[in-house]
Amino acid sequence: RLEERYRAAAELTGLRPQFRPRPLTDPGTPDGGFDAVVCLSVVEHVAPGERVEVVHALVRALRPGGRLVLTCDVDLRRRDGLLVEDVAVLLSEIRKGCDLLHPLDLGRPPALPPSEAFLPTAPWRPPWPRRAPPGQAQPPTGAGGQDAESFRSIAVFGLTARRRAAA
């Protein structure tokens, strides 16, 4: 459990981390209450209509000079999930209050094979069969008991930004 890990970290470091579950849009502190906000592979799981509000709240939670570390998984198959154009909207929201600390490189090396190239020869993949929604038939499985739909082709987008001082 996460609470137990926080307690163990406190014992090892002598620091007093706190475990306070909160909605992403309301950290429960005044604006500017955090030196850093780390949000790894979370935004893509937020409802599409709430993503901008969540990113705005993450930026608002930072003190001037505070750092935002954000990653999100972008759906390359364009079936569901976070799309590249969604990332552009979120990036625009982040830039309203932060400066990016590193230039973004959105290029893809031409020799880099897509993740689908490994699908037929991926015995190393953990078996995570996709579960059909209630009332629908379970999809057929292929080699290794996995169906092609359970493999999501993603790209991980990440950035580090620093909150600007209020004008």
Instruction: Measure the CA–CA gap between 96 and 36, rounded to whole angstroms.
Output: 17
Cβ atoms of 153 and 112 within 8 Å: the answer is no
Cβ atoms of 61 and 32 within 8 Å: the answer is yes
Predicted confidence at residue 120, as pLDDT, reads 60
Instruction: Measure the CA–CA gap between 135 and 125, rounded to whole angstroms.
Output: 28
Whether the model clears a pTM of 0.85, i.e. scores above it, the answer is: no
3-state secondary structure of 53: helix
Strands 62-75 and 154-163: antiparallel
**13 phi/psi in degrees, rounded to 5:** -100, -20
Predicted confidence at residue 52, as pLDDT, reads 96
What's the average pLDDT block by block, 10 residues per block, for the chain (167 residues)? Answer: 81 80 84 92 92 95 95 79 88 95 72 63 51 62 49 75 89
Report the amino acid identity of residue 21: P
